[in-house]
Every structure is written in C-alpha cells, then in structure tokens.
Structure 1
Amino acid sequence: MKLIMRADDLGFSEAVSLGILKAVKDGVITSVGLMPNMESAQFGYELIKDCDIALGQHTNICVGKPLSDPRLIPSLVQANGEFCSSKEIRAREKDTINIQECEIEIEAQLLRFQEITGRNPDYFEGHAVFSKNFFIALENVAKRHGLFFCNPALDKEWEKQNGIVGLPFFKADEQGLYNPQQYMEENLHYIEENACCVAIFHPGYLDHYILTHSSFTHVRAMECDFLCSEWLKKWLAQHQIELVDFRNYQDIAL
C-alpha cells in the first residue's frame, strides 16, 4: 500500500509556507504544490528547496494578480485586473473560463515557476477552481511541455490511467474544521484497495493575508499539527503504508 501525502498552497502567504515547512520536516508530507503568482512564492520555495519532496505547480487563477497581461485574459479577471474569486467562479451557471486565455496565464505561471526554481515542476495541477475548461487548459499546457498533469479525486479516468486514487475531500463542520484521525480511518479502505492513493492537505500557519484571502483558515493550523502528530506516524506504520511522492509516477504518466 502506497500513499502520497500532498500539501497545497506553498507561497500563498509567508505563514502558510512556514506551516508547510513544518509539515514536511516534522511531519509526513511528501509532495508540495507551489503557487507561482503569489508574492510569497520565492519565500516559500527558499524554505523547502533542500527538502526531499516532489515540488509541483499549484496553478492559481482565483487569488491575487495574474502574471500575464489582464487585458489578454478577460474571462479570468475582475475590472481591477485581479483574479475573480473561486467563490464567484463556482457560483456561475456556466463555465465561462476561456481555455485559450487560461493557457496564457498557465504558461506565465510555468515560466515563473522555472525562474524561481530553475527547473520544471514534478507535477502540474490547479488550485480551488473546479472548472472543466481550467482542467483542459492545464492538461494542454502539460502535454506541450512534457509535464505530469495531476487530477486525482476529480477525474476517475485520470486515476485509472495513472494508478493513483485520490481520497475523498473532507466534510467540514460549521467551523470549517473536521476530525483528521476519523478522516484517515474512514478512508483506510481506499488505501488498502488501491496500489497508490493521494491525500490532499492544506497545512499552514495564519497571518493577516491568509485570514483575509482564504476560506481555509483554522483548518490549516489544525492540519499542520495533525500531519506532525505521533498518532499519524504510528497509524501509517501500523497499517504498513509506504509514503511515496509524485516523482515515483512520472514515467508512468509521461
């Protein structure tokens, strides 16, 4: 049984990035997604650049400012040139994201990822926007550059082709929290029944930016503690679950 422990949102803010570092060094995270357009992206990368993890591009089209000219991507931005929020995008009756415009921004974020890290991402996926057009654009750019496009939990065909099954997303309570021990126990059968699974988390500490720009707040600090907990480490050992990362599956995907 193999499990990829993925942490999203590196670079979202300095505090989030510090929490992710904690979850890597003292916890069980094996793969980390960097948001190239965010102001703290360089800061986040510097924190984890020497860690033995898979580093992916967590492409972001719903927080902050785009890296491409806003005039070239009108379906992605507000009048002030910043991205439309994920909440606003999810409220639309139709998927109005333009694939070609989306590819322009994805390419710009890939270039920034390369500028920051000096290399290509180990895997390639998207942040918070569940749009078919967004996924098509991501896959198109990934194919163009020979990158490992990832879409577990949302695309059953992708899971079948790549041999990686995404654990279901957690169900939050009224405070936006959940019981992570219960979550792992309830989803153990997925890990036992499949060759490889991926669990997606958003560990992080909190600062003013994240408190004002994300619906994920206290859950980040809770997950950070959980991912470093002795309970989780013992649970993984008890069930003989081997931790791997997306680099183990690049050859299969490409």
Structure 2
Amino acid sequence: MKLIMRADDLGFSEAVNLGIYKAVKDGVITSVGIMTNMEQAYAGYELLKDFDIALGQHTNICAGRPLTDPKLIPSLVQENGEFYSSREIRNRQVDTVVVEEAEREIEAQYLRFKEMTGRDPDYFECHAVISQNFFTALKNVAKKYGLFYENILFDQEFEKENNIYGITMAKLNEKMLYDPKEYVENNLDFIKNHDISVMVFHPGYLDQYILEHSSFTLIRAMECDFLCSKWLKDWLKNNKIELTDFRKVKNG
C-alpha cells in the first residue's frame, strides 16, 4: 500500500511557501502543486526545485489575477480584473464557467509553469473550484499537451483507470480546524484497501495576504506542524505505509 502526501497552494503567499518548504524538508510531503498565476509562485519554486518531489500545476481560477487578458475571460473575472472567489462560484445556482475561457487561462498557467521550471508538470489538477466546465477545460488542455490530469475525489473514472484513489478531506469544525491524528487513523483501512491513495493538505504559515484572501488560516500552520511530527512518521512506519509521488505511479 502506497500513499501520496500532496501539498497544495505553493505560490499563494510568501508564508505559505515557507510552510510548504518546511513540510517537504522536515516532513512527509511528496508532491506539491504550484499556483503559477500568483506573485509568489517563482519564489516558491526556487525553494523546492532541488528536492526529490513531484511538482504539479495547481490550476487556479479563484485567487489573485489571471495571466490572460481579463477581457478575454469575462466569465472568470470581476470588474477589477481579479478572479471571482471560490465562495462566489460555489454559491451560484448554475455552472457559469465558460469552457473556452477557462482553457485560455489554464493554458496560460501551464505555459508559465514551463517558463518557470523548464519542463512539464508531473501532474495537472485544480484549486478549490468544483465546476464540471472547469474540469472539462482542464482535461482538454491536458490532452492537448499530453499532461497527466489528476482529479481525485471528483472523477471516479480517473481513479479506476489509474488505480489512484483520493481520501476525502477532513471535516472541519467551527474554527476551520480538525484533529489530524484522528483523521489519518480513521482512514487507515482505506489506505490498506487501496494500492495507491492520496491525502491532500495545505501546510503553510500565515501572513496578511492569507488572512485577507483565504478561508484556510490556522489550519495551514496546524497541518505544517503535523506533517513534520514524529508521531506521523512513526505512524507511517508502524503501519508499513510506503510514501510515493505522482511521478512514480502515473499511467500505471
């Protein structure tokens, strides 16, 4: 039984970058997704570029500004040129994401990834927005460039075809926190019953940008500490769980 420990949101802010760096250097994170449209994206990449991890594109259409001219993607942006927030998109009664517009921005973020790293992402997935039109656009761009599109939890066909199964994220309390030890313990049977499983985390530290632009605040520091903990490392060892990453398991 193998487990991918995925960290999302590299590039979201300077503090998030530092927390993810900590979770890779001293913790158990094996795969990290970059939000290439964000101002701190390249700085985050510089922190992690020499680590032996999978580096993916955490495609983002709900934070910061797009790489595409906002006039070309009106379904994705507010009047000020910034993306609509994930909360605004979630609260809509219908899926207003226009596939062709999403494709433009996804492709721009992919090309920025290649510009930053000199290579293709090891995996290709999305940040926060649950939209079938967005998923369709991601699949289309991935197919165009031969990328490994990963959509655990929301695409059962993907999970079956690739034998990679997503573990449902923890249910948060009123403080947007949870008990991480209880979370992994409760999912031990799931991990044992699947060849390859994925747990998704959002490690990070806090700065003013995150406090103003993300609903995930204290949870980031908590997860960073947990991912570096001796308890977790011992738990993985005692349960004979092998850590892996998307480079080693994609496409069978």
Same fold per superposition (TM over 0.5): yes
Shift of 1:249: 2.2
Alpha-carbon RMSD: 0.6
1:77 counterpart residue number: 77
Shift of 1:149: 0.2
Letter in 1 for 2:72: L
> 2:56 aligned with 1:56, yes or no?
yes
Letter in 1 for 2:23: A
Q: Secondary structure at the match of 1:200?
A: strand
Shift of 1:158: 1.0
2:139 counterpart residue number: 139
> 2:64 aligned with 1:33, yes or no?
no
Q: Is the 8 A contact 2:63 2:85 kept in 1?
A: yes
Mapped partners of 1:190, 1:153: distance in 2: 13
> 2:130 aligned with 1:130, yes or no?
yes
Q: Is the 8 A contact 2:162 2:251 kept in 1?
A: no
Shift of 1:155: 1.5
Deviations 1:40-83 (CA, angstroms, capped at 9, x unpaired):
00100000000000000000000010000101100000011110
Shift of 1:99: 0.4
1:209 counterpart residue number: 209
> 2:155 aligned with 1:155, yes or no?
yes
Mapped partners of 2:208, 2:176: distance in 1: 18
1:174 counterpart residue number: 174
Q: Secondary structure at the match of 2:250?
A: helix
Mapped partners of 1:250, 1:227: distance in 2: 24
Q: Is the 8 A contact 2:4 2:30 kept in 1?
A: yes
Could you tell me the TM-score, scaled by structure 2's length?
0.99
Mapped partners of 1:231, 1:111: distance in 2: 40
1:228 counterpart residue number: 228
Deviations 1:175-216 (CA, angstroms, capped at 9, x unpaired):
000000000000111100001000000000000001100000
> 2:118 aligned with 1:118, yes or no?
yes
Deviations 1:149-194 (CA, angstroms, capped at 9, x unpaired):
0001121111111100100111000100000000000011110000
Mapped partners of 1:218, 1:68: distance in 2: 32
Structure 2: unaligned runs, 5 residues or longer:
none
Q: Secondary structure at the match of 1:16?
A: helix
Letter in 2 for 1:46: E
Mapped partners of 2:25, 2:215: distance in 1: 26
1:242 counterpart residue number: 242
Letter in 1 for 2:63: V
1:97 counterpart residue number: 97
Could you tell me the TM-score, scaled by structure 1's length?
0.98
Aligned residues: 252
Deviations 1:224-248 (CA, angstroms, capped at 9, x unpaired):
0000000000000000000000001
After the TM superposition, list the runs of 4 or more consecutive aligned residues in structure 1 that deviate by more than 6 angstroms: none
Q: Secondary structure at the match of 2:106?
A: helix
Shift of 1:38: 0.1
